[in-house]
């Protein structure tokens, strides 16, 4: 249940626009209060990113169980999934500590402020990865453990180390790691895979680029200073909005594909259509604005970003409710 994501390590540490670009790091004292140290280590795991991952995991478990899944399996999957996501995020913080210190959005992270020593952050992440993988294997099943480990390794080596600083398509392919909670949730219940989780994997995969790119539009200057080639840094706003809308259409289409593939009820179909229409309407608002010559913050890309969160949460909520209606 690793990253996204929003994935992808994209979380909202919003600062006041116009604030200084750099916050002087807080020195690591010889002895830090236990509570402060705990908060710093928890912050390394990016809890807000994990929340989004859990939103996609639990509903899939209901769908896989065709009703209410065993509580013990749900709790174990959430516990080890949280550790798995936390491991990937902590190691990502270790890798990105140099650029995190330059960006307004991330400058308050523990390593950027020297609240945790880099070596300790790395050990913390590796420990979480080990415990989560072994825990999944022993308490849930081997397939869930293998996919959890794959997600961690993919996020670290493919996204963080290979793609993020080299290509504007970083979040497209790096987003695969953030889709794995869907597969893990299904495998935890069934011990196997099927077309249904693959369709939901596709929904999250296609949803990730427009979700992330609109956030990156808001923090374009940050990414430019850090030399991270997010699409809004290297392309025009019109191209970013156009490609985001194309991915939004693909997301909605994939969400409708779940209706026949998983044998969902008309309740899901209606909900997917309504939610998709609202999601697309916001994408068209952005496109209309950029065609009219609106630029920068006046485009209000964060409206789309926040709506995308609501869209995914509500869609997966219906995924969880639908099996209970049969």
pLDDT for the residue numbered 32:
64
User: Could you give the angle at which helices 142-153 and 118-135 cross, rounded to 10 degrees?
Assistant: 160
Is residue 6 included in any domain, yes or no?
no
pLDDT for the residue numbered 31:
57
Encode pLDDT of 245-270 as tens digits: 999 999 999 999 999 999 999 999 99
User: Could you give the angle at which helices 237-262 and 266-291 cross, rounded to 10 degrees?
Assistant: 170
Tokens of 104: 């307004």
Is residue 266 included in any domain, yes or no?
yes
Collapsing DSSP to helix, strand or coil, 253 comes out as helix
Tally the domains of the chain. 1
Cβ(147)–Cβ(187) below 8 Å: yes
The domain in which residue 209 lies consists of 34-325
Encode pLDDT of 103-130 as tens digits: 988 899 999 999 999 999 999 999 999 9
- CATH number reported for the structural domain that contains residue 179 in this entry: 1.10.600
Is residue 27 included in any domain, yes or no?
no
Q: Residue 272: pLDDT above 80? A: yes
Is residue 10 included in any domain, yes or no?
no
Encode pLDDT of 25-60 as tens digits: 444 444 568 888 899 999 999 988 777 778 899 999
Is residue 25 included in any domain, yes or no?
no
Is residue 129 included in any domain, yes or no?
yes
Question: Of 172, 157, 136, 162, which is closest to residue 1 (Cα–Cα)?
Answer: 136
Is residue 314 included in any domain, yes or no?
yes
Q: Residue 61: pLDDT above 70? A: yes
8 DSSP assignment: T
Cβ(190)–Cβ(131) below 8 Å: no
Encode pLDDT of 193-237 as tens digits: 999 999 999 999 999 999 999 999 999 999 999 999 999 999 999
108 DSSP assignment: T
Is residue 187 included in any domain, yes or no?
yes
């Amino acid at each position: 249940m690793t990253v996204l994501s929003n994935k992808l390590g994209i979380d909202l540490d919003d600062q006041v626009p116009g604030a200084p670009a750099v916050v002087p790091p807080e020195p690591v004292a010889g002895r830090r209060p236990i509570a402060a140290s705990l908060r710093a280590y928890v912050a390394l795991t990016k809890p807000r990113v994990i929340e989004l991952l859990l939103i996609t995991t639990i509903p899939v478990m209901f769908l896989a169980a065709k009703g209410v899944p065993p509580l013990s399996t749900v709790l174990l999957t959430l516990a080890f999934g949280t550790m798995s996501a936390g491991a990937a995020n902590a190691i990502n913080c270790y890798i990105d500590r140099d650029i995190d210190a330059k960006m307004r959005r991330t400058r308050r992270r523990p390593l950027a402020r020297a609240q945790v020593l880099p070596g300790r952050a790395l050990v913390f992440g590796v420990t979480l990865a080990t415990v989560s993988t072994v825990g999944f294997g022993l308490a849930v099943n081997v397939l869930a453990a293998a996919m959890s480990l794959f997600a961690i390794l993919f996020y670290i080596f493919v996204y963080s180390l290979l793609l993020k600083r080299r290509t504007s398509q970083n979040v497209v392919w790096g987003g695969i790691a953030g889709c794995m909670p869907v597969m893990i949730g299904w495998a935890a219940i069934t011990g196997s895979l099927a077309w249904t989780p693959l369709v939901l994997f596709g929904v999250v995969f296609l949803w990730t680029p427009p979700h992330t790119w609109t956030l990156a539009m808001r923090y374009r200057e940050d990414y430019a200073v850090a030399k991270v080639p997010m699409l809004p840094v290297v392309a025009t706003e019109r191209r970013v909005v156009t490609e985001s809308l194309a991915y939004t259409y693909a997301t909605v289409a994939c969400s409708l594909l779940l209706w026949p593939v998983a044998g969902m009820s008309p309740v899901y179909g209606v909900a997917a259509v309504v939610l998709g229409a609202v999601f697309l309407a916001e994408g068209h608002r952005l496109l209309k604005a950029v065609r009219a010559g609106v630029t920068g913050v006046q485009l209000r890309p964060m409206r789309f970003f926040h709506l995308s969160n609501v869209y995914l949460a509500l869609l997966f909520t219906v995924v969880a409710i639908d099996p209970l209606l049969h």
